[in-house]
Amino acid sequence: MSANSFGSRLVMHTFGESHGRAIGVLIDGVPAGLPIDFSALQKFLDRRKPGTSAWVSQRAEPDQLEIVSGIFEGKTLGTPICGFVYNQNARSGDYENIKNQPRHGHAEQAWKNKFGHIDHRGGGRSSGRETLSRVIAGAICEQALNKIAPQMQVVGWVSQIGEWPCDMDLARTSSRAEIDQFPARFPIQDSQFIAEKLQNAKTNGESYGGIAEIEIRSPLSSLGQPVFHKLKSDLATAAMSLGATLGVDFGEGIPSLCVAGTEFHATTKVTQYGGIQGGISTGDVIRFRVYFKPTSSILDVAKKGRHDPCIVPRAIPVLEAMASFVLMDHWLWSQTDKFRI
């Protein structure tokens, strides 16, 4: 398996450096005949774009998706789909002064030790911009899943920023479209509260870690393999392959575990298990959380005024995309679970 590939039956191969010529993905294994709605793809891509509100990075990239293979007359061919965006607003000059001085808290020093040669501009391949590739792949999967299981919804939100938790009841009853309306995808009644916090952080060079929560509502059952490709394991891999993540948990989460087993198992809350048993989806809601460290760009001379004070809001579409990719991969895999002859 190569270092830039993800998936088992369906595979995405991502490529591109932050300030190189292009960033994109090659997706292999999508069955033939799936109609593709290009404008929906572009719209999904725009959800992670920088420059969309006052407190996120102001790198203004059009991020116009080009798909150069695998789709003909609006439908997939069963051949590899290559999609990418050209990088345009890459202020590489900003990075000249760090060329020989790796940034604290960034990947540069470790990368340099490992590979000897490094594209220092904007994090190179370690940039969060790499996640754009994943969104393209996940957005295509979502179009497939919408046909396979229209009732299934992958919905994520920011459930904590710094020390501030969202309104969980509001979050769990909101659709993706509704969550996208909240500033910072942070569901809370007083929506200006967090906008101000983030604006202040941006002004003051501050940043916050936070928590993303993802729900797969009305999921298909029987997805996931029993040993190494458990559904929980593949979702965790997806989450932990993002740059700023430091943890992941499923079900009701870590605090719920520190009780006696008679109490834990007495519950009728199926959510205790996160909707997955023995690695396989049961059909109950799948719920997991991903933990992000505060962005280190505050320390970063090069990014003066262009940093995200909290990266989690923009990570939501990436996590949703990755979850959809994992679901589609396992759906394909599940087609040969049983000998049906």
Considering the rule CB under 8 A, would residue 5 count as an interface residue with a second copy? yes
Q: By C-beta, is 44 or 325 nearer to a second copy? A: 325
Q: Which residue lies nearer to a second copy by CB, 177 or 255?
A: 255
Would you list the DSSP string of 98-127? GTTSPPTTSSHHHHHHHHS----GGGGGGS
Q: Site residues for a second copy, window 184-243 (CB under 8 A)? A: 205-211, 221-222, 225-230, 232-233, 236-237, 239-241, 243
Our CB check for a second copy shows the closer of 75 and 304 to be: 75
- Which window, 50-58, 119-127, 170-178, 181-189, contacts a second copy (CB under 8 A)? 119-127
Does 261 bind a second copy (CB under 8 A)? Our answer is yes
Q: Which span sits near a second copy by CB under 8 A: 54-62, 108-116, 166-174, 181-189? A: 108-116
Yes or no: say if 25 and 246 are a contact pair by the CB < 8 Å rule: no
Structure tokens at 159: 């459930």
Nearest to 187 by CA among 215, 218, 162, 156: 156
Query: In the bound complex, what is the minimum distance in angstroms from residue 178's beta carbon to a second copy?
Result: 25
Rule CB under 8 A: is residue 177 a binding residue for a second copy? no
Q: Which structure tokens are listed for 98?
A: 């760090």
Specify the residue, 257 or 301, whose C-beta has the smaller distance to a second copy.
257
In whole angstroms, what is the distance from residue 21 CA to residue 14 CA?
14
**Which H/E stretch holds residue 179?**
helix 176-181
- The rounded distance, in Å, linking the Cα atoms of 136 and 27 is 9
Q: Is there binding between residue 64 and a second copy (CB under 8 A)?
A: no
Length of the chain: 341
Q: Is 69 in the site for a second copy (CB under 8 A)?
A: yes
What is the distance between the alpha carbons of residues 286 and 264, in angstroms, rounded to a whole number?
18
80 binds a second copy (CB under 8 A): yes
113 binds a second copy (CB under 8 A): yes
Which residues within the stretch 31-60 sit at the binding site for a second copy (CB under 8 A)?
31-34
We find the least distance from the C-beta atom of residue 307 to a second copy, in angstroms, to be 10
Nearer to a second copy, 199 or 222 (CB): 222
Tell me how far apart the alpha carbons of residues 42 and 53 are, in angstroms, rounded to a whole number: 18
Question: Which of 42, 51, 94, 148 touches a second copy (CB under 8 A)?
Answer: 148
Torsional sign, CA 257, 326, 125, 44: negative
Q: In sequence order, what are the beta bridge partners of 86?
A: 22
Residues 275-334 that bind a second copy (CB under 8 A): 276-282, 291-296, 298-299, 309, 332-334
Q: Which residues contact 338 (CB under 8 A, 6 or more apart)?
A: none
